Chain A
Amino acid sequence: MEQRAKMMQALIHAILILVSITMLVPFLWMILTAFKSMGEATSVSPFVIFPSVWRTENFTTVINNLDFVNLYINTLLLIAGRVIAAVLTATLAGYAFARLQFRGRDFMFSLILFQMMVPGQIFIIPQYLMVSKMGMLNTIFALIFPGLVTAFGTFLLRQAYMGLPRDLEEAARLDGCNIGQTFLFIMAPLTRSSMVALGIFTAVFAYKDLMWPLICNRDVMPLSAALAKMQGQYSNNYPQLMAASLLACIPMIVLYLVFQKQFIEGIATSGGKL
């Protein structure tokens, strides 16, 4: 029996390691290719796995050609703008929907649920026309614009407030807090973990969003759109494409490795919103 259990354990590890390799190979290949010369990358016999010299030219070339510093700044502003706006508005609205009684609440909440069920592509053309009419195409504001509020985040925060005990508010009220103070000093701090989850979720999806930046910004681009544009220009220089991909992925991957638990929970709580 002992023997059998050990065999099982070994088999499970073997499967998991095999899958891990499958998951990692594309990333490793990205790294290896990024350090190769064009000749090494396209050599067939012999097929080159490791670069003979670890060249950094590909990185310096794409950093200069694509103005990567700007791409990082644009992406950071896009993420920061959407995260701040989404967490702030969703925290306020989530509390009201969970804990306050007022006329019109249920109808407004049904609009939140309705938005969550509709595929996002239906919003894009009118959103584009709005930004265009405002004369705001090609600005950081345009990138942030569709993410200023979040139906999903409001729903998530509402759930968080619903889970808090009622006594807290009663006690605060007896101590003379008005609704605003109760919210700000007592209730909001207790939903910090949901705010973090929403923040991470918003950040990752702002970072991954491709179609909106492609549509609204041809000059002020975040990383995702810049990669797409670069592929159009240097479609066959794979060492450079891989260097750019690697540079685009690294910041988020590093953050992920540092805050794994929050990332996985934050994205997993998103449930359907992918």
Chain B
Amino acid sequence: MGTIKKGTTRERNEFVWGWAFIFPTMLGLIVLNIIPIFQTIYQSFFKTGDFGRGNIFIGIENYVKMFGDAEVWQAVLNTFKYAIVEVPFSIAIALVLAVLLNRKMMGVSAYRTIFFLPMVAAPAAIAMVWRWLFNSEFGLLNHIFGTSINWISDPAIAVFAIAVIGIWSIIGYNMVLFLAGLQEIPRDYYEAASIDGATGINQFFNITVPLLSPTIFFVTITRVIGGLQVFDLIFMVMDKNNPALYKTQSIVYLFYQNSFVENNKGYGSTIVVLLIAIIMVVTVFQMIAQKKWVYYN
């Protein structure tokens, strides 16, 4: 009897303390995140009236409009173009750098510090300095290469120029994640391979990549999601009157424009729903594809 009673007091204690401890977080989470998810979906069936007044129910009209909206599909295409360049390059370069840094060598921590530096700079500042580097008349890049390319105002290349900024910004972050993964690979594997006469490049493809594949997969998933949400760089680099804007604006950029510049929050919500659908499909697709290449021991 005594033990049961003791048990229940303890249970009650844990119940009370437990809820008290999670209460602030859950209250905030439900108000700030969970309810807004449903509100945004709900909002996507409404149209904001003129001068931001009133919410008019219009059923699936926003969705019908969106599916016929060439600007939205162009933005989807732009976003994919950006991600298809940013993700593989930032991952491949970061992987090579991580492998090069994963050894006892002078200057390792200095290199790591430098590569990671863009992560702590304001994206607005990064975008501005790259805009200046890309400047077609006075920019450093055209001067160094002796070219006169309109990096960010030529609709054919602007989105890729922005992807270059994205790659530059994120390499250090990916590299740190890879370095953590590399610590897990036993040294013996490499020693055995060296004795068998495997070269560095052989080792990279036959030991490092397969054993690091869970980390590579994780970084890829998160980078693809991040890439599909690109906003800051495009917002900061592209002026309203940039002729390449139509060919560079991303899904989130359109969301921002529609929701907060043109003040049609209904249509903005519809675009968010599209973004989430795209992210879900792409992520599920990667989850299925991983079975073919990710190696878990």
Contacts of A1-52 to chain B: CB distance below 8 A: 8-9, 12-13, 15-16, 19-20, 22-27, 29-30, 33, 41-44, 47
Q: Which residue of B lies closest to A9 (CB)?
A: B105
Closest CB-CB distance, A221 to chain B, in whole Å?
11
Complex contacts, A178 vs chain B, CB 8 Å? 13, 17
Closest CB-CB distance, A141 to chain B, in whole Å?
13
Contact A29 B128, CB 8 Å, known A19-B115, A274-B226: no
Q: Is the CB of B125 within 8 A of A248?
A: yes
Q: Which residue of B lies closest to A274 (CB)?
A: B226
Q: Is the CB of B24 within 8 A of A89?
A: yes
Q: Identify B37's interface contact among A102, A122, A150, CB under 8 A.
A: A122
Q: Which residue of B lies closest to A29 (CB)?
A: B140
Task: Say yes or no: is B92 at the interface (Cβ < 8 Å to chain A).
Answer: no
Contact A93 B26, CB 8 Å, known A119-B229, A245-B128: yes
Q: Which residue of A lies closest to B222 (CB)?
A: A272
Q: Is the CB of A127 within 8 A of B122?
A: no
Task: Say yes or no: is B130 at the interface (Cβ < 8 Å to chain A).
Answer: yes
Q: Is the CB of B105 within 8 A of A242?
A: no
Task: Say yes or no: is A149 at the interface (Cβ < 8 Å to chain B).
Answer: yes
Complex contacts, B143 vs chain A, CB 8 Å? 47
How many positions in chain A have a CB within 8 Å of any CB in the partner chain? 99
Complex contacts, B22 vs chain A, CB 8 Å? 92-93, 96-97, 105, 108
Q: With the chains together, A13 CA to B132 CA distance in Å?
A: 29
Q: Which residue of A lies closest to B113 (CB)?
A: A260
Contacts of A64-118 to chain B: CB distance below 8 A: 88-90, 92-93, 95-97, 100-105, 108, 111-112, 114-115, 118
Q: Is the CB of A118 within 8 A of B272?
A: no
Q: With the chains together, A96 CA to B15 CA distance in Å?
A: 10
Hey, what's the 0/1 contact readout for B33-68 against A, CB within 8 Å counting as 1? Answer: 111110110010000000000000000000000000
Contacts of B85-103 to chain A: CB distance below 8 A: 93, 97, 100-101
Hey, what's the 0/1 contact readout for B16-38 against A, CB within 8 Å counting as 1? Answer: 01110110111111111111110
Contact A210 B123, CB 8 Å, known A121-B229, A264-B176: yes
In this complex, which of B17, B101, B133, B273 has the most chain A Cβ atoms within 10 angstroms of its Cβ? B17
Q: Which residue of A lies closest to B115 (CB)?
A: A23
Q: Which residue of B lies closest to A21 (CB)?
A: B114
Q: Which residue of B lies closest to A112 (CB)?
A: B29
Q: Identify A180's interface contact among B17, B26, B30, B279, CB under 8 A.
A: B17
Task: Say yes or no: is B189 at the interface (Cβ < 8 Å to chain A).
Answer: no
Q: Is the CB of B120 within 8 A of A256?
A: yes
Complex contacts, A88 vs chain B, CB 8 Å? 24
Q: With the chains together, A267 CA to B209 CA distance in Å?
A: 24
Q: With the chains together, A29 CA to B135 CA distance in Å?
A: 13
Contact A20 B252, CB 8 Å, known A30-B125, A108-B26, A252-B122: no
Complex contacts, A27 vs chain B, CB 8 Å? 117, 121, 129
Q: Is the CB of B120 within 8 A of A252?
A: yes
Task: Say yes or no: is B173 at the interface (Cβ < 8 Å to chain A).
Answer: yes
Closest CB-CB distance, A13 to chain B, in whole Å?
7
Q: Is the CB of A210 within 8 A of B232?
A: yes
Q: Is the CB of B120 within 8 A of A241?
A: no
Complex contacts, A151 vs chain B, CB 8 Å? 25, 29, 33
Q: Is the CB of B239 within 8 A of A272?
A: no
Which of B72-80, B154-162, B255-263 contacts the other chain? B255-263
Complex contacts, A255 vs chain B, CB 8 Å? 120
Residues of chain B whose beta carbon lies under 8 Å from any beta carbon of chain A: 11, 13-15, 17-19, 21-22, 24-37, 39-40, 43, 93, 97, 100-101, 105, 107, 109, 111-126, 128-130, 132-133, 135, 137-138, 140, 143, 168, 171-173, 176-177, 180, 200, 218, 221-222, 225-226, 229, 231-232, 235-236, 239, 252, 255-256, 259-260, 265, 268-269, 272-273, 275-276, 279
Instruction: In the A-B complex, list the 6 residue pairs whose CB atoms are closest, starting with the nearest.
Output: A149-B28, A126-B36, A245-B125, A102-B18, A96-B21, A272-B222
22 A/B residue pairs, CB under 8 Å, sorted by A: A23-B114, A23-B171, A29-B129, A90-B25, A93-B25, A115-B34, A118-B276, A119-B276, A121-B275, A123-B40, A125-B265, A125-B272, A129-B265, A149-B32, A180-B17, A211-B235, A227-B122, A238-B135, A238-B138, A256-B120, A272-B218, A274-B222
